[in-house]
Amino acid sequence: MSGTWLGMPAFPRNAEAALGNSRLRANLRKATHTIRARRAAGVDEMPGWAKLRARGAAVKDAALRDLDKHLLRAEEAVTTAGGRVHWAADAAEANTIVTELVKATGHREVVKVKSMATQEIGLNEALAAEGITAYETDLAELIVQLGDDLPSHILVPAIHRGRAEIREIFRDRMAAWGRPAPDGLGDDPRALAEAARLHLRERFLASKVAVSGANFLVAETGTLVVLESEGNGRMCLTLPETLISVVGIEKIVPTWQDLAVFLELLPRSSTGERMNPYTSMWTGAAEGQEFHLVLLDNGRTGVLADEIGRQALRCIRCSACLNVCPVYERAGGHAYGSVYPGPIGAILTPQLRGTATPLDASLPYASSLCGACYDVCPVAIDIPEVLVHLRARVPHPPAERAGLAAAGWLLDRPGRLRAAQRLAGRLRGLVPRRRLPGPGAAWTDTRDVPPVPAESFRDWWRRTGGEDR
Amino acid sequence: MTGRGSRERILARIRAATAGLPPVPDAAGPPPAPRERTEAEIVRTAELFAARVRDYRATVHLVAPGGVPAAVAGALAGRGARRVVRPGGLPVEWPAGDGVEFLADEPPLTAAELDAADGVLTGCAAAVAETGTIVLDAGAGQGRRALTLLPDYHLCVVRAGQIVPGVPEVLGRLDPARPLTWISGPSATSDIELDRVEGVHGPRTLEVIVELPAV
Amino acid sequence: MRVGLFVTCVNDTLFPETGKAVVTLLRRLGCEVDFPMAQTCCGQMHVNTGYRDEGVRLARGFLDVFAGYQAVVVPSGSCASMIREQYPKLAAGMGASRPGAFASAHGGRSPFARAVAEVTPRVYDLAEFLVDVLDRTDVGAYFPHRVTYHPTCHSLRGLRAGDRPLRLLRAVRGLELVPLAAADECCGFGGTFAVKNAAVSAAMCADKVANVLNTGAEVLCAADNSCLMHIGGTLARQRAGVRVMHLAEILAQTEDAR
């Protein structure tokens, strides 16, 4: 039913393959630059952004500090309001819970609101294995699902696709999933959005079970919050008889009033809008619906235990860090091999999944540490700090370890450094400028090597006392 | 059902991970205290609200006190809406318009009936000027959530006194126990090459009437 | 004022002319410059590649060597940023209290943390030192060429150097400063990133080079020779005819010297 992240090679190889795809690069470049400019305009307009950002970080920290109390409070509030709360330690358990809940309704089809948590646990695949079809309803998720593709962006999962490709996917694949694409469908985004509207309309009206995630869960009231743009979220949250929401435990905010901070931070960071078109909030069983809340750990408590890494749990999934990241812009989202791509993915995935695979171990290095991600993060996650922290934890290749050990030995004593500099100065004529051997070849593939000077600075200083130019 | 053992396990892991951490002070602070506003302030806030809603490419009419019925009739005529859904608890004088049939939600209209209607007329619970946002709470004059979702045209009446300056203020006016829908312009998507297209699954047209206070 | 020059291991070994230019410039501006011979490296490459223990050992060495100076000048935005921004985080990871609200469980201050707190506030990137400490933007330089400036990530977002380098360059007589498009974007160097993710690094640099060439500048200037080695190496490979120069080397030039 859809592609898989399993068995992907390490990030550098994936990125290199993506760099060779000129259409992908053009799509990504256009999209990231557009959304980057929109965010900048939205944030610049807002007075006191720095203060708001600091409060966002502080509220999340407060929520994480007493996460157990807040979760219990939310559980009580949701239960009091007629909902049922389930706890899932890992992906398998969450999938089992949701599958059983859907089966209990007697229905075999569910409509889905775009949700990172359900992608993280592979819910659609788990449901399919039990004969239940999950229909994605967000336009970009629909494009990904119809195209038997993988998401490549947190906010705009089909960001890697251009309009012509989307038209092809709709024309070729819509009929297999429901109402076919209209005859003579063009590639104007307006026409494509209309085709999606028609394709999903009857599905919404007939749907009995919906699965969602949530952007926020308010501990003191038990209120769930979903931000969206298209209205597919409202359709799924409102019309079906049964609603199942899978929510990561870090989505909690302590108080109702805390929402103000995030409703101001998230839309501007995410799409650059003052506010997204639709936000739904509900507490327990709304308007007679049957409501289930599945609280998901799946590695989050492990992240919480890491003093430096835990700040990643503040993330509100705005994707601002993806949009400014020069590495993401060139490598694309698939290279990260996870539903969480880009800078936040590079620190979240290795913490949630571990670093046992070559791909996961390579993610902390998928950054030049330029810091653009930290600058735009609305909850001030110091992504470069966490990347560096994780780099100290992953296994290092033996050749690199030997090289850095040798460099460390040289730099440890000024005398050793001076001796090495003198040796290099004497051999300077032998250093190839355009083709280094071994690992140095990665440098000289595209770059010349600077000439080695005859005399190092320290030897010059020693010789002249710094007087002679 | 699974999950009982997991509840205790997750809570225990959280406690182990956060054990000994110093407390974090309350960061969000109290909500802004409500205060009396002058008529002039209310009008200025309403004007900002109108400008921000227009930025979302929605139509906004500012009307004098008592001007709502005429504005409703004008808007429905302009739209050509003949069959319009009317939630319970709407001020009786608002549904106006020659030849317009207003559909009450009693007994509840089916999804298909709502889908087939030309539009829906509602009030709101509160609104936010800064972001051009209308908040519905399924209360009187608003109806259950499906009413403002399935018809393709939403005509919403906002009284100027319901508009607060910003998001922090509006939360204090809302009841979290009610299902809330925040609406900022018509439904939209930017999923195709980041081009914004108004109108996907929600109402493709949003029209707003703001009733100003007497001055 | 007595200034300790931390020339950095890269400049020491590969770009001595930059160090010499700093000495010339600071002396011209009335500073007494000292180069403590015991210095080697700030530890950035090791820490940022994931070899924290080796990096911390080098950091300790730096703190020992520069403990006594009124001011330490570093002609590298990324090394200055390593010392000022990352040393405190390393100290925090070693048991000191972390900045921010969600603090560490372990309080206390190690000797390393104390040294970091004492030394690092007096460490300056060259442009910061000139503008903030010496209060100079016109340093009496003369450089009659068309120049564009790449701000480098760690100066821009680490040190928050702002427009200090540009103010210095604008005050250089004869110099025509031309703006660089997308200047705030990373050039793709990133230390070992340049070889570990060589393809992405090269792609980033290709865009940087295209923007540089579009300016029509004769000289690309930056306050960090590592980035310049990467961009300059690409320019040289393309035989683009644009020179790269460290900020210090431009600011050191005077009309007399011509």
DSSP of A302-356, one letter per residue?
Answer: HHHT-TTGGGGGG-----HHHHH-HHHHHH-GGGG-SSS-HHHHHHHHHHHH-S-
Q: For the CA atoms of C90, C95, C98, C103, what is the dihedral angle to 10 degrees?
A: 150
Q: Where do we find the tokens 């969000």?
A: B28
Tell whether C181 lies on the interface with A, counting CB pairs under 8 A.
Answer: no
Directed axis angle between helix A342-353 and helix A383-391, to 10°? 40
pLDDT tens digits for A370-382? Answer: 999 999 999 999 9
Residue C102 has pLDDT above 80, yes or no: no
Helices marked H in A320-445: 320-324, 326-331, 342-353, 358-362, 372-376, 383-391, 398-412, 414-426, 441-444
Query: DSSP letters along A224-272, please?
Result: EEEEESSSHHHHHHHSSSEEEEEEEGGGEES-TTTHHHHHHHHHHHHTS
Q: Which residues of A touch B125 (CB under 8 A)?
A: none
State whether B27 and A305 contact (CB < 8 Å). Answer: no
Average pLDDT over residues A99-126: 97
Distance from CA of B28 to the nearest CA of C (A): 13
Q: Looking at A273, A300, A327, which one is the last position of a domain?
A: A300
Of A323, A388, A397, A385, the C-alpha closest to A12 is A397
Does A221 fall in a domain?
yes
Same domain, A289 and A410: no
Hey, which residues 60-89 in chain C have their CB within 8 Å of chain A? Answer: 61, 86, 89
Confidence class of residue C1 from pLDDT cuts 50, 70 and 90?
Answer: confident
Same domain, A259 and A408: no
B206: left (phi over 0), alpha (psi -120 to 50) or beta: beta
Hey, which residues 190-249 in chain A have their CB within 8 Å of chain B? Answer: 190, 192-193, 196-197, 200-201, 204-205, 218, 221, 223, 229-232, 234-235, 237-239, 249
- Mean pLDDT score of chain C: 93
Q: Which residues of C touch A434 (CB under 8 A)?
A: 237
Cβ contacts below 8 Å, chain B against chain C, sum to: 12
Confidence class of residue B1 from pLDDT cuts 50, 70 and 90?
Answer: very low
- CB neighbours of B110 closer than 8 A, spacing ≥ 6? none
pLDDT tens digits for C110-168? Answer: 899 999 999 999 999 999 999 999 999 999 999 999 999 999 999 999 999 999 999 99
Burial B15-52 (b: 16+ CB within 10 A, else e): eebbeebeebeebbeebeeeeebeeeebbebbbbbbeb
Confidence class of residue C258 from pLDDT cuts 50, 70 and 90?
Answer: low
Of B60, B202, B89, the C-alpha closest to B145 is B202
Structure tokens at A361: 């171990």
- CB neighbours of B200 closer than 8 A, spacing ≥ 6? A139, A193, A196, A197, A229, A230, A231, A232, B187, B188, B189
Directed axis angle between helix A398-412 and helix A414-426, to 10°? 110
How far is Cα A111 from Cα C199, in angstroms, rounded to an integer?
41
Residue B46 has pLDDT above 80, yes or no: yes
Number of other residues whose CB lies within 10 A of the CB of residue A65: 21
pLDDT at A431: 85
Tell whether A312 lies on the interface with B, counting CB pairs under 8 A.
Answer: no
pLDDT tens digits for C54-81? Answer: 999 999 999 999 999 999 999 999 999 9
pLDDT tens digits for A277-328? Answer: 999 999 999 999 999 999 999 999 999 999 999 999 999 999 999 999 999 9
Residue C93 has pLDDT above 80, yes or no: no
Same domain, A277 and A419: no
Higher per-residue pLDDT: A440 or A48: A48
Same domain, A278 and A416: no
Does A7 fall in a domain?
no
How far is Cα A271 from Cα A263, in angstroms, rounded to an integer?
13
E-only strand ranges, C58-139: 71-74, 123-125
Structure tokens at C143: 């450089």
Number of other residues whose CB lies within 10 A of the CB of residue C160: 11
pLDDT at B182: 98
Please confirm whether the linkage preceding B107 is cis (ω < 30° from 0): yes
Nearest CA in chain A to C199: A16
Query: DSSP letters along B104-153, please?
Result: E-SSPPPHHHHHHSSEEEE--SEEETTTTEEEE-S-TTT-SGGGGTSSSE
Higher per-residue pLDDT: B25 or A79: A79
For A459, the domain range is 404-464
Nearest to C37 among A308, A414, A424 (CB): A414
How far is Cα A363 from Cα A374, in angstroms, rounded to an integer?
17
Confidence class of residue A460 from pLDDT cuts 50, 70 and 90?
Answer: very high
Nearest CA in chain C to A311: C102
- Mean pLDDT score of chain A: 95
pLDDT at C104: 46
Nearest to C236 among A367, A448, A452 (CB): A448
Does A394 fall in a domain?
no
Pairing of strands A84-88, A290-296: parallel
Average pLDDT over residues B179-207: 92
Domain ranges of chain C: 2-133, 146-251
Residue B202 has pLDDT above 60, yes or no: yes
How many domains is chain A partitioned into structurally? Answer: 2
Q: Which residues of A touch C194 (CB under 8 A)?
A: 442-443
Q: Where do we find the tokens 């902390």?
A: A364
Does A311 fall in a domain?
no
Kind and range of the H or E run holding A175: helix A163-177
- Sign of the C-alpha dihedral computed for residues C155, C161, C162 and C167 taken in this order: negative
Nearest to A326 among C16, C157, C204 (CB): C204
Structure tokens at A328: 């993401």
- What is the phi/psi pair of residue C176, to 5°? -105, 115
Query: Which residues sit opposite A85 in a β-bridge?
Result: A293
Q: Looking at A261, A281, A300, which one is the last position of a domain?
A: A300
How far is Cα C131 from Cα A465, in angstroms, rounded to an integer?
26
Tell whether C100 lies on the interface with B, counting CB pairs under 8 A.
Answer: no
How far is CA A407 from its chain centroid? 35
Structure tokens at A334: 């698939």
B25 three-state secondary structure: coil
How far is Cα A412 from Cα A89, in angstroms, rounded to an integer?
47
pLDDT tens digits for B74-130? Answer: 999 999 999 999 999 999 999 999 999 999 999 999 999 999 999 999 999 999 999
Q: Looking at A267, A300, A333, which one is the last position of a domain?
A: A300
CB contact at 8 A, B206 and B199 = no
C146-251 shares the fold of C2-133: yes
Query: DSSP letters along A36-91, please?
Result: HHHHHHHHHTSTTHHHHHHHHHHHHHHHHHTHHHHHHHHHHHHHHTT-EEEEESSH
In this complex, which chains have at least 3 CB pairs below 8 Å with chain C? A, B
Residues in chain B: 215
Structure tokens at B210: 């703001």
Hey, which residues 19-38 in chain B have their CB within 8 Å of chain C? Answer: 19-22, 24-25, 27
CATH number for A175: 3.40.50.10420
Substitution target in A230, A255, A314, A329 with the highest count of B β-carbons within 10 Å is A230
CB contact at 8 A, B140 and B89 = yes
Residues in chain C: 258
C46 three-state secondary structure: helix
pLDDT at B28: 61
Average pLDDT over residues A339-344: 97
Average pLDDT over residues A236-245: 97
Confidence class of residue A342 from pLDDT cuts 50, 70 and 90?
Answer: very high
Average pLDDT over residues C227-254: 96
Structure tokens at C219: 């000289």
How far is Cα C154 from Cα B11, in angstroms, rounded to an integer?
40
Average pLDDT over residues A343-348: 98
Distance from CA of B213 to the nearest CA of A (A): 26
Same domain, A408 and A286: no
pLDDT at C97: 43
Q: Where do we find the tokens 């000022």?
A: C84
C230 three-state secondary structure: helix
Directed axis angle between helix A67-80 and helix B4-18, to 10°? 150
pLDDT tens digits for C167-204? Answer: 999 999 999 999 999 999 999 999 999 999 999 999 99
Q: For the CA atoms of A66, A68, A73, A77, what is the dihedral angle to 10 degrees?
A: 130
Higher per-residue pLDDT: A128 or B32: A128
pLDDT tens digits for A354-371? Answer: 999 999 999 999 999 999
Query: Which residues sit opposite B83 in a β-bridge?
Result: B101
The CATH class, in words, for C146-251 is alpha beta
Residue B2 has pLDDT above 70, yes or no: no
State whether B187 and A87 contact (CB < 8 Å). Answer: no
Burial C131-157 (b: 16+ CB within 10 A, else e): bebbebbebbbebebebbbbbbbbbbb
Confidence class of residue C101 from pLDDT cuts 50, 70 and 90?
Answer: very low
State whether A371 and C153 contact (CB < 8 Å). Answer: yes
pLDDT at C3: 97
pLDDT at A7: 83
Cβ contacts below 8 Å, chain A against chain C, sum to: 207
**% pLDDT > 70, chain C:** 93
Query: Which residues sit opposite C123 in a β-bridge?
Result: C72
Domains of chain B listed by start with CATH number: 37-189+196-211 (3.40.50.10420)
Query: Which residues sit opposite A296 in a β-bridge?
Result: A88, A248
Of the candidate CATH numbers 3.40.1130, 3.40.50, 2.30.30, 3.40.1350, the domain formed by C2-133 belongs to 3.40.50
Q: For the CA atoms of A7, A10, A12, A15, what is the dihedral angle to 10 degrees?
A: 30
CA atoms within 13 A on the CB side of C201: 27
ipTM for this prediction: 0.96
As a whole number of angstroms, the longest Cα–Cα distance in chain A is 89
Residues in chain A: 469
Same domain, A115 and A240: yes
C124 three-state secondary structure: strand
Nearest to B201 among A159, A235, A276 (CB): A235
